[in-house]
A and B are shown apart, each in its own frame.
Chain A
Amino acid sequence: MAFLLTINGETHELDVEGDMPLLWVVRDHLNLTGTKFGCGLAQCGACTMHIDGVAARTCVLTVADSVGKNITTIEGLQSPQAMAVQQAWVQLQVPQCGYCQSGQVMSATALLEKNGNPTDADIDAAMSGNICRCGTYPRIKAGIKMAAAQFTNAAGAV
């Protein structure tokens, strides 16, 4: 079956089975490999993309259900919040093995786009769906706060 998907602002026509999760469409058919496979069960968050601006687990979202949505992958991040998050990630040396970090960056960005000054509890709530076996959690938390500070310090830009 053919499906029309809008990914990172571009429209793609894909001829795949309708039950194929968006994750595998993007990785195997569009060759965008920044989004990772970790569990296939929406348990680990490695596959997180933004669907209409909301962080979503795409290993359980079928291509059929992705039609008509505005899909953003790590490759398509552009917002000031995303740039701030990525900058903080490098500066604080957040990633270790790095395999989960695309998903972490996507979740962190979605959080900051909604809440420019998250508390520890907000961060725990938004980020606990993303597993990191290297245990970079303290630096992820610090990274989100560092990124948030860019906006709160800039006279409430968010």
Chain B
Amino acid sequence: MNIRRLVNAESAAVDSGRRSFLKLSAGASAGLMLGVSFSGSSASAQNAVADTALEMNAFVSISPDNIVKVLIKHLEMGQGVYTGLATCVAEELDADWKQVVCEHAPANTQKYANLLMGQQGTGGSTAMANSFMQMRQAGAAAKAMLVAAAADQWQVPAKDIKVSDGMVSHGNRSATFGELALAAAQQPAPDASSLTLKNPNEFKLIGQDNTLRKDVGKHNGTAIYTQDVKLPGMLTAVVAHSPRFGGKVKSFDASAALARRGVQHVFEIDSGVAVLATDYWSATKGRELLTIEWDDSAAETRSSNDILLQYRGLVDTAGAVAESHGNADHTLSRSSDVTELVFEYPYLAHAQMEPMNCVAQVNGDTAEMWYGCQSATGDQAAIANLLGTDINNVRINTVFAGGGFGRRANPASDYVLEAVRIARHVQGTPVKLVWSREDDMQAGYYRPAYVHKIAASLDDAGNPSAIHIRIAGQSIMAGTSMAALMVSNGIDNTSVEGLTEFAYDVPERQVELHSPEIGVPVQWWRSVGHTHTAFSKEVFIDALARKAGADPVAYRLGLLTNNPRETAVLKLAAEKAEWGTKELPEGWGRGVAVHTSFGSTVAEIVDVSVQGNTFKVERVVAAIDCGIAVNPSIVRAQVESAIAYGLSAALADEVTLTDGNVDQTNFHTYRVLRMNAMPEVETHIVASNNAPSGVGEPGTPPIAPAVANALAAITGRTFTRLPLKLA
């Protein structure tokens, strides 16, 4: 995501939020809202909202039995968006938190667009940033309608009516929201200019920890994910994909598969051979019985080592200029004191816990979908395009997603269209497409591999006077519908973000980019370009500090005098970690990194213990400035999560290819972080009255460089390759 654009859009978003909200409110009626329901599902009682809920506006409805339902336009995939957005509504509505339930909004880009994206979708850590004002206004508007209804009934001035903790009152009279819901829904939608939102010092819920999460049922197995959707007559589909990216089916023999008990259909689709059965196991066993000959004439057959070798050559040649200040080349060529490092990053799989899946039912030119939908508008358009139908003929029911980390917002709608292609073949029959872990791991759409080369000249004080950065790696955005927005003059901003607009004060800077085309599908991965740029930046700066014999925190602060936000966050982390004063056990080392992404700044200080050729990350102290922390407990949870996710990649994650075949298949070969390698994490939040900025991703970029810098502190070596290895 281009966070610069997003952050700049923030103030505009508040305005456009107001406008679209007004428009929606004007169109709102007192009609009945129908809840999403699955026959045979076991959604928890709290999620099963009565169908009698009365609509106050596009986001809020209230039922006569006093339940406030908040429609959530973003995908809940663990980041806490149900709780966060409902908090904003409940705050301004003065609802009792216990009466609030959440449900995913349907796909409807007119009503539910991400105000920073211009279409309905979740990503770029924007959920709270784009919804903060919109959700508060939705709550305030609903409250105004309740008050107007009470004023009518009690024949008292609206201004004398109080609302608190879910009760509307005047003198001795009081009513619940539920009692007023019918009359309130018939009130005209209030004018946005008539709504007064609370000042931060009036917040009762925003900024508080102790709110129960609204994505309920996750502790007892009742929460419903795509994997759990069951529809009458539904078949389960698995697909035999080409072992190599770009391979096609040449021929196949399905006779043995069709003889397997439970298997109902076998047919070819664009992406391979689909096997449909009455249950997953039968489909899988049927797939094992297929004989397929693949046509690899257009397939990628290189090994990842060949690809990285190509990149190492590319960074020795001039690339497209992404940013240029002064004449860094000239200064570097005349300098006698140049530090140069080459960094290398592997492909990474998302490996979210719920392997990709999707339920689809196609009837002629209409489709109904059930899945953890992250790109509602993009997927809806792709499905409509495939079926040659109107976007309004595609209905999407969104359920919880078992993790995403970027994967579910696929720019090609890959797994979604695969499900639709299968369902189209068996008209009217609901089909649940299920990928095995192996399918998921080997399906591509990885974080791209990269090589960076960074050189800097140093002034007499040991500070960088000029820096030259070259990056080689695939463009994530090229060829997608977002290319027009994200790629300009051959520069995909997501390839360079974090190294352009260099956070440290270096007078002369040049950033160049090579974006070779490789047949391995790539995609954004939690924190996108910052997954690699932050590592290079922070390891490089640390190497300069060591060379100058300076303290790593003090050296950074000296280069951040024009960056008060990073200065404050770094100082907070250093203070809380007792940087420079705390004594560490023998064999332990300390490292630091600070980075800004998605509008938020995070500093992390890491303690690492080394024993022989192995090491353990013992403790992380993090500080974050994310503007107003709507729910501090969730902010801390997201920082913990972002650290765990980034640490996994720092320690072990790596996708490699041999002759075009992905080497990793499952969690025994793609070795993600487990409990025994998880450090203690302590998170400190900078107090702020600024608008909320990103929280889901910004904690990821600093962790790998902080660990590498801690290892450097112990070993004196500079670590330039991920995953980190001591030997």
Q: Which residues from chain A sit less than 8 Å from chain B, CB to CB?
A: 17, 19-21, 24, 27-29, 31, 33-41, 43-44, 46, 73-75, 77, 86, 89-90, 93-102, 105, 123-125, 127-141
Number of A-B contacts (CB under 8 A): 186
Please, which residues of chain A bring their CB within 8 A of the CB of B640?
135-136, 138-139
Smallest beta-carbon distance B107→chain A, Å: 21
Known: A33-B227, A90-B212, A135-B643. A97 touches B352 (CB 8 A): yes
**Residues of chain B with a CB closer than 8 A to A28's CB:** 236, 278-281
- A39-B666, A98-B223, A101-B219 as given contacts; A93 in contact with B633, CB under 8 Å: yes
Which residues in B have their C-beta under 8 angstroms from that of A24?
Answer: 279-281
Question: Shortest CB–CB separation between residue B633 and chain A, in angstroms?
Answer: 6
* Contact A97 B236, beta carbon cutoff 8 Å: no
Residues A124 and B212 in contact, CB atoms below 8 Å apart: no
Whole-angstrom distance between the Cβ of A76 and the nearest chain B Cβ: 10
Contact indicator B437/A99 (Cβ below 8 Å): no
Which of the 9-residue segments B74-82, B453-461, B546-554 touches chain A?
Answer: B74-82
Assuming A19-B285, A124-B676, A134-B641, is B355 touching A86 (CB within 8 A)?
no
State how many angstroms separate the Cβ of A65 from the closest Cβ of chain B. Answer: 15
The reply to whether the CB of B582 lies closer than 8 angstroms to some CB of chain A is no
Could you pull out 16 A-B pairs where Cβ atoms are within 8 angstroms? A20-B279, A24-B279, A29-B279, A86-B219, A97-B401, A98-B219, A98-B223, A98-B402, A131-B674, A134-B403, A135-B641, A135-B642, A135-B648, A137-B644, A137-B673, A138-B680
Q: Is B645's CB under 8 angstroms from A133's CB?
A: yes
Query: Which residues of chain A come closer than 8 Å to B673, judged between CB atoms?
Result: 135, 137
A37 to B236, CA, bound (A): 14
- Asked if B678 and A43 make an inter-chain contact with CB atoms under 8 angstroms apart, the answer reads no
Q: Is the CB of A95 within 8 A of B219?
A: yes
Are A134 and B219 within 8 A (Cβ)? no
B571: Cβ under 8 A from any A Cβ: no
The yes or no answer to B267 lying at the interface (CB within 8 A) is: no
Q: Which 4 A-B pairs have the closest CB atoms?
A: A34-B221, A135-B644, A99-B402, A98-B218
CB-nearest residue of chain B to A99: B402
B223 contact set on A, CB distance < 8 A: 98
What 1/0 mask marks residues of chain B from 310 to 348 whose CB sits below 8 Å from any chain A CB? 000000000000000000000000000000000000000
Which of the listed residues B220, B228, B353 has the most CB atoms from chain A within 10 Å of its own CB? B353
Instruction: Report which B residues bind A (CB closer than 8 A).
Output: 40, 42, 77-80, 212-213, 215, 217-225, 227-228, 230, 236, 261-262, 278-282, 285, 351-355, 400-405, 434, 436-438, 633-634, 637, 640-645, 647-648, 666-668, 672-676, 678, 680-681
Contact of B634 among A20, A21, A93 (CB under 8 A): A93
Which single residue of chain B is at the shortest CB-CB distance from A44? Answer: B667
Q: Is the CB of B668 within 8 A of A43?
A: yes
Rounded to whole angstroms, the CA-CA distance of A128 and B437 in the bound complex is 19
From A27, A38, A77, contact of B353 by CB (8 A): A38
Chain B residue nearest in CB terms to A24: B281
Q: Which residues of A contact B355 (CB under 8 A)?
A: 37-38
Given A74-B220, A131-B674, the answer on whether A139 and B637 have CB atoms closer than 8 Å is yes
With A21-B281, A39-B437, A133-B405 in contact, do A138 and B221 touch (Cβ < 8 Å)? no
Cβ of B675 and Cβ of A124 under 8 Å apart? yes
CB distance from A92 to the nearest CB of B (A): 9
A137 to B42, alpha carbons, bound, how many Å?
27
Sample of 4 further A-B pairs with CB below 8 A, known A36-B402, A128-B674, A133-B405: A28-B278, A29-B279, A41-B666, A136-B641
Contact A43 B667 (CB under 8 A): yes
Q: Which residues of A contact B668 (CB under 8 A)?
A: 41, 43
> Which of A19, A38, A94 is the most central at the interface, judged by chain B CB atoms within 10 Å of its CB?
A38
Q: Which residue of B lies closest to A29 (CB)?
A: B279
Inter-subunit contact A138/B220 (CB<8 Å): no
Distance in angstroms between the alpha carbons of A63 and B435 in the assembled complex: 22
Cα distance, A158 to B355, chains bound together (Å): 38
User: What separation, in Å, do the CA atoms of A103 and B78 have in the docked complex?
Assistant: 16
Interface-central residue, A77, A102, A135, by most chain B CB under 10 Å:
A135
Which residues of chain B have C-beta atoms less than 8 A from A128's C-beta? Answer: 674-676
Contact B667 A39 (CB under 8 A): yes
Given A29-B279, A97-B77, A134-B403: A127 in contact with B675 (beta carbons within 8 A) = yes
Give Cα A137 to B71, complex, Å: 30
CB neighbours (8 Å) of A43 from chain B are 437, 666-668
CB distance from B274 to the nearest CB of A (A): 18
What residues of A have a CB within 8 angstroms of the CB of B77 in the complex?
Answer: 97
Q: What distance in Å separates the Cβ of A93 from its nearest Cβ neighbour in chain B?
A: 5
How far is the CB of A85 from the nearest CB of chain B, in Å?
8
A144 CB → nearest B CB, Å: 10
Once bound together, how far apart are the Cα atoms of A77 and B220, in whole Å?
9
- Are B220's CB and A34's CB within 8 A? yes
Residues of chain A with a CB closer than 8 A to B437's CB:
38-41, 43-44
Q: Which residue of A lies closest to B260 (CB)?
A: A17
Residues on B with beta carbons closer than 8 Å to the beta carbon of A96:
78-80, 403, 637, 641
- 8 Å CB contact of A31 from B222, B230, B637, B675: B230
- Indicate which residue in B221, B224, B236 contacts A35 across the interface (CB closer than 8 Å): B221
Least distance between A55 CB and chain B CB atoms (Å): 14
Give the docked Cα–Cα distance between A133 and B221 (Å). Answer: 18
Chain B residue contacts of A125, Cβ below 8 A = 676
Q: How far is the CB of A116 from chain B (nearest CB, A)?
A: 19
Q: Is the CB of B436 within 8 A of A40?
A: yes
Could you tell me if B280 and A133 are in contact, using CB atoms closer than 8 angstroms? no
A105 and B281 within 8 A (CB): no
Chain B residues lying within 8 Å of A129, measured Cβ to Cβ, are 674
Interface pair B672/A133, CB less than 8 Å apart? yes
A94–B219 CA distance with the chains assembled, in angstroms: 8
Q: Name the A residues within 8 Å of B285 (CB-CB).
A: 17, 19
Q: How far is the CA of A27 from the CA of B278 in the complex (A)?
A: 12
The CA of A99 and the CA of B352, in the complex, are separated in Å by 9
Bound state CA distance, A137 and B676, in angstroms? 9
Closest to B228 in A: A33
Closest to B213 in A: A93
Q: Find the A residue at minimum CB distance from B678.
A: A137
- Residue on A nearest B405 in the bound complex, by CB: A133
Which residue in B281, B637, B678 is a CB contact (below 8 Å) of A20? Answer: B281
Task: Name the residue on B nearest A35 (C-beta).
Answer: B221
